[in-house]
A and B are shown apart, each in its own frame.
Chain A
Amino acid sequence: MQSKPNSALVIVGHGSTVNPDSSAPTHLHADAIRVRGLFGEVHCCFWKEEPSVREVLRMVDRDDIYIVPNFISEGYFTDNVIPREFGLEGPMTVRGGRLLKYCEPVGSHASMTRVLLHRAREATPGVDPARTAFLIVGHGTGLNDNSAKAAKEQAARLRTETDYAEVLSTYMEEPPLVADWATLTSAPNVVVVPFFISDGLHSYQDIPVLLGIEEEAGAAASQRGVFRHNPHSLHGRALYYASAIGTEPMIADVILEQVAQFDRTHAA
């Protein structure tokens, strides 16, 4: 991406009122982009943390502002909450002499396929993809949430573009259930990547229980080492469990790709 010294980048995350894990990746991606000096300034804002979406622009100096939602898919937040809180009227909104450019969410960019692949390879060093099943885990059953659809599309791409023995999108709460991983797959190795924007109760506790890595959900989520004991030997297979895709540093590049895509789509 060409540098934009006269533009600001604002990354919007969900945030949490109970733990710092939700906003941490958003902040880290912002840090990474900030040090590259591509934008005049880089900010974060959140729905559940400060600065709120309502407040963040008060700290922004530039009048040309790219807003990128750090969400796993389009849905309630990107269609409803974020536009409402910013007072957006569409992809481009002029407000108080400033131009607000509303980009697509991180998770729906095509380059997420590359990020998922990278994460899976990293979790399975030296393991042959042709003898490995690749499982993406989404939430499913969300209110107006397209993350299940996004996970499915990513699985379809990975199936055609990589040499994994099997690629499946699975869900916590709707079929195909991630809990059925052993019957859904037949390859000797299985790698599981949560399709979530940050680590939290789902990736630390719920999914490990559904996979059978953990007996029951324990406390003190952030302190857990569930990602460090790969592979887990279960049902005669080697199961590799990765942390949420949104914590991958490559997401910073996806954010930049969404800005570049916005420019291409809305070229003056």
Chain B
Amino acid sequence: MGIAAEIVRLLEEGFDTIGQVRILRTGGGFDLRHVDDAGRGDLHVWCRPEEARQIAASDDAGGYRPLKTAPNLRRGWSLRVSGAEELRLALDFLYPAMIGTFLEWRAGGLMPVPLRETLGRQTGMYRVTVRITDAQAGELIAEHCKLEGGCLRKILWSLSAETPLKGLSPAKTDPDGVREGEIPLLCAEACNLLVAAARPVAKQTPPSK
């Protein structure tokens, strides 16, 4: 089954939310809006799935959103799309790759990548990130990835193959810890924003050899 059909099946199973987006079935298609705008009738209506990019691009204050899973999706819009394929596109612009990641996780095929592996793969200006200590990494993740004001994804990766991530709340790491009907946003590997944020921290640590 293709992703578009899988999304329709998820809706039939009772899923109606992903991140800060509520998905409502309408007569001819689907209505997407901010979860906090569920009952509003004064929303600006958009009709093309590509317009989801514009909605996701900036927050309510007009600031650019480099991380689409940050909890700052703007409000006041309703995006009406007509078929499963348009719905797939719109959701992929609002929460890039998040449906596919969830489906893969549910099917048992998602392979989270430990942070040390992600950092060890970096080249160029990010090669230095391998120098970050476990303690520094822990502090950085707790701040950078925090649910409130940081990122809504659930972290599935560990520090290294042997070391789990410590100090994060279960709400940040448990994919099942979401409201009923909510598709969890999953983090299978540290994103480039976190890798970039690790750079100045790692540079404080002298090279080991």
Give the docked Cα–Cα distance between A20 and B191 (Å).
Answer: 18
B97 touches A59 (CB 8 A): yes
B123 touches A52 (CB 8 A): no
Give the docked Cα–Cα distance between A48 and B189 (Å).
Answer: 14
From the candidates A43, A49, A59, A76, name the one contacting B124 in the complex (CB within 8 A): A76
B64 touches A18 (CB 8 A): yes
- Are A55 and B96 also in contact (CB < 8 A) when A17-B193, A31-B50, A76-B124 are? yes
Neighbouring A residues of B53 by C-beta, 8 Å = 27
Neighbouring A residues of B113 by C-beta, 8 Å = 54
Q: How far is the CB of B71 from chain A (nearest CB, A)?
A: 15
A50 touches B96 (CB 8 A): yes
Residue-by-residue, is A179-207 near B (CB-CB < 8 Å gives 1, otherwise 0)?
00000000000000000000000000000
A58 touches B123 (CB 8 A): no
Q: How many residues of A contact B (CB 8 A)?
A: 26
Give the docked Cα–Cα distance between A49 and B196 (Å).
Answer: 12
- Are A61 and B3 also in contact (CB < 8 A) when A51-B97, A52-B191, A55-B96 are? yes
A16-33 CB contacts (< 8 Å) to partner B: 16-20, 27, 31
Neighbouring B residues of A49 by C-beta, 8 Å = 66, 96
Give the docked Cα–Cα distance between A27 and B51 (Å).
Answer: 11
* Nearest CB in chain A to that of B109: its residue: A96
* Nearest CB in chain B to that of A43: its residue: B92
Give the docked Cα–Cα distance between A248 and B69 (Å).
Answer: 30
* Nearest CB in chain B to that of A57: its residue: B100
Give the docked Cα–Cα distance between A43 and B93 (Å).
Answer: 10
Neighbouring B residues of A54 by C-beta, 8 Å = 113, 189
* Nearest CB in chain B to that of A44: its residue: B96
Give the docked Cα–Cα distance between A16 and B66 (Å).
Answer: 7
Give the docked Cα–Cα distance between A90 and B198 (Å).
Answer: 30
B188-208 CB contacts (< 8 Å) to partner A: 188-189, 191-193, 196
Give the docked Cα–Cα distance between A143 and B127 (Å).
Answer: 15
From the candidates B2, B67, B123, name the one contacting A80 in the complex (CB within 8 A): B123
CB of A228 closer than 8 Å to a CB of B = no
CB of B176 closer than 8 Å to a CB of A = no
Give the docked Cα–Cα distance between A61 and B191 (Å).
Answer: 23
What's the A-B contact tally at a CB cutoff of 8 Å?
Answer: 65
Residue-by-residue, is A120-150 near B (CB-CB < 8 Å gives 1, otherwise 0)?
0000000000000000000000010000000
* Nearest CB in chain A to that of B68: its residue: A50
A59 touches B64 (CB 8 A): no
Give the docked Cα–Cα distance between A50 and B93 (Å).
Answer: 9
CB of B99 closer than 8 Å to a CB of A = yes
B85-138 CB contacts (< 8 Å) to partner A: 88, 92, 96-97, 99-101, 103-104, 113, 121, 123-124
* Nearest CB in chain A to that of B110: its residue: A58
CB of B84 closer than 8 Å to a CB of A = no
Residue-by-residue, is A37-53 near B (CB-CB < 8 Å gives 1, otherwise 0)?
00000010001111110
Neighbouring A residues of B188 by C-beta, 8 Å = 55
CB of B142 closer than 8 Å to a CB of A = no
CB of B159 closer than 8 Å to a CB of A = no
6 A-B pairs with the lowest CB-CB distances in the bound complex, closest first: A58-B100, A51-B97, A51-B96, A55-B97, A50-B96, A59-B100
User: 18 new A-B pairs (CB below 8 Å) besides A59-B97, A81-B124, A84-B121?
Assistant: A17-B196, A18-B64, A43-B92, A48-B192, A49-B96, A50-B96, A50-B191, A51-B96, A51-B97, A52-B191, A54-B113, A55-B189, A58-B101, A59-B100, A60-B100, A61-B3, A80-B124, A143-B124
Residue numbers of B with Cβ under 8 A of A are 2-3, 50, 53, 57-58, 64, 66-69, 88, 92, 96-97, 99-101, 103-104, 113, 121, 123-124, 188-189, 191-193, 196
18 sampled A-B residue pairs with Cβ under 8 A: A17-B192, A17-B196, A18-B64, A18-B66, A20-B64, A49-B96, A50-B67, A50-B69, A51-B92, A52-B191, A55-B96, A55-B97, A58-B103, A59-B88, A60-B100, A76-B124, A80-B124, A84-B123
Residue numbers of A with Cβ under 8 A of B are 16-20, 27, 31, 43, 47-52, 54-56, 58-61, 76, 80-81, 84, 143
